[in-house]
Amino acid sequence: MEESQSGSGAFSLPPEVVEVCDVAKRIVHKELLPLEPEYLPHPGHSFGLKETINLKSVFGDAVLDRLVGIARDTGLWYLMVPEKFGGLGLPMLSQIAILEQFYYTAVPFPFANVPNILYECQGDQIEKFLKPVVEGRMTTCFAQTEPNAGSDPGGMMQTRAVQKGRNWVLNGTKMWISMAAESDLMLVQAVTDPDQRQRGGITMFLVERNNPGVHIEQPGIKTWLSPRSAQYIVHFKDCVVPEEDVLGEIGQGFRLGQRWLTIHDRLLRGPYALGKMQRALDMSIDWAKQRTTFGKPIAERQSIQWKLVDMYVDLTALRAMTYQMAARADAGEDIRAEAGMVKFTSMEWGVRTLDHAIQIHGAMGESLELPLTLFFRHLRHGYIGGGTNEIQRMQVARKLLRG
């Protein structure tokens, strides 16, 4: 059943991108899917951890090195990296089409997952921070959310940064910071002008995890997402950051954060869901054909057929929407509201698709031998992570009512 995802009409992809999609698909089927039986029940992997860390925690160095070698040999390690820094320089639409292939499996594929705002690095920051992240020698996390500043970070953020000579001193607490304990570098937002806040009073700082002013609470926050926690509370107490480690302009950190959220935590949830939805549909079709009850395959039951149809409709609609918004981003449009729309529809439709797949599989659908419940949990988290679905709807409504 799995169809070509290269699109047609307005969403036709260049032949060279279709070729890369095919390479990615072959890697998934030859290298990653065979690892799922060991990966799925293992307690070492965690939602929110970087791909390389998850792979190493489950399989060790041998498997990780082999997959990193494949990524580098094929160029896919640099999938999302601009040409200026040695990457493929692909437009967002092409990146999304390729990423969708890799999200077909629970086993992560290693690549340079660089926060897009890190390309704002200037001067010595490029050698000190950006290039090591691109090459995989450093890992990052994004620190915006606070105990009382989740949905309204601009208005409620309490972490402060005060300039003292050639340094900034940070004080405050961040919460629900994915991979804080495993990262080398934190992209931290702090209030530098309480009167301006998100309108020019929040600055982004590059803070190294081993800074003596950083304290990460251990163990992390336990959630239902995975056996191991990768969510943390981070305290900054008289944390001294040199002025040369400000990312971008002073006061423009909130704008940078929104740029990161728009792409990484909203638009890219489209392919993240699409791969899982396609896998769930393929598995459900195969299962329905082979599972027999009362003398015939359940594929002949209308109740099953309609679930499959609903899954296919959600998948097709989400792919069209995601590809369109990626193309609009490539055209230079402001897609902040539209990326939010992709975010909440991909999570809600993805959960609905996985729910159908689990039901079609019956008791087997709940088995940890299959990826369905893991996919379900990760997609359901997306109703909250990256800005709640309610907040995304508010943003879309605001744009509509603005005229």
Rounded to 5 degrees, φ, ψ at 5 are: -105, 20
pLDDT above 90 as % of the chain: 92
How much is the pLDDT for 49?
Answer: 93
Q: Is the pLDDT of residue 5 over 60?
A: no
Q: Which tens digits make up the pLDDT trace of 369-402?
A: 999 999 999 999 999 998 999 999 999 999 999 9
Q: What is the mean pLDDT of residues 54-59?
A: 97
Q: Inform me whether the pLDDT recorded for 3 exceeds 60.
A: no
Q: Which domains does the chain have, with CATH numbers?
A: 9-113 (1.10.540.10), 140-256 (2.40.110.10), 268-401 (1.20.140.10)
Are residues 177 and 187 in contact, defined by beta-carbon separation less than 8 angstroms? Answer: no
Is pLDDT above 60 for 10? Answer: no
pLDDT band at 4 (very low <50, low <70, confident <90, very high): very low
Average pLDDT over residues 157-181: 97
Mean pLDDT of 150-174: 93
Q: Which one is predicted more confidently, 155 or 47?
A: 47
Residue 297, preceding peptide bond in cis (omega within 30° of 0): no
CA distance 266 to 248: 22
CA distance 200 to 241: 20
Residue 185 token pair:
């570098």
Asked if 210 contacts 182 with a C-beta cutoff of 8 angstroms, the reply is no
Indicate if the pLDDT at residue 7 is higher than 50: no
Report residue 284's pLDDT band, with 50, 70 and 90 as the boundaries.
very high
HSE-CB for 94 with a 13 A CA cutoff: 19
Average pLDDT, integer, range 294-314: 97
Which pTM was predicted?
0.94
pLDDT at residue 6 greater than cutoff 50: no
Q: Give me the pLDDT at residue 108, please.
A: 98
**CA atoms of 249 and 120, how far apart (whole Å):** 10
Q: Give percent of the chain with pLDDT exceeding 70.
A: 97
Is the pLDDT at 8 greater than 70? The verdict is: no
Q: 174-223 pLDDT, tens per residue? A: 999 999 999 999 999 999 999 999 999 999 999 999 999 999 999 999 99
Between CA 335 and CA 330 the distance in angstroms is 10
Could you tell me the pLDDT band of residue 11, with boundaries at 50, 70 and 90?
Answer: low
CA dihedral over 80, 82, 85, 88, signed as positive or negative = positive
Q: What span, in angstroms and rounded, lies between the C-alpha atoms of 3 and 319?
A: 12
Residue 27, pLDDT above cutoff 80: yes
Asked whether 341 and 321 are in contact (CB, 8 A), the reply is: yes
Residue 176 to residue 179: CA distance in whole angstroms: 9
Do residues 151 and 104 lie in contact, with contact meaning Cβ atoms separated by under 8 Å? no
Question: What tens digit of pLDDT does each residue of 343-360 get?
Answer: 999 999 999 999 999 999
Residue 156 has pLDDT above 50, yes or no: yes
Q: Is the pLDDT of residue 63 over 90?
A: yes
The chain-wide mean pLDDT, for the chain, equals: 94
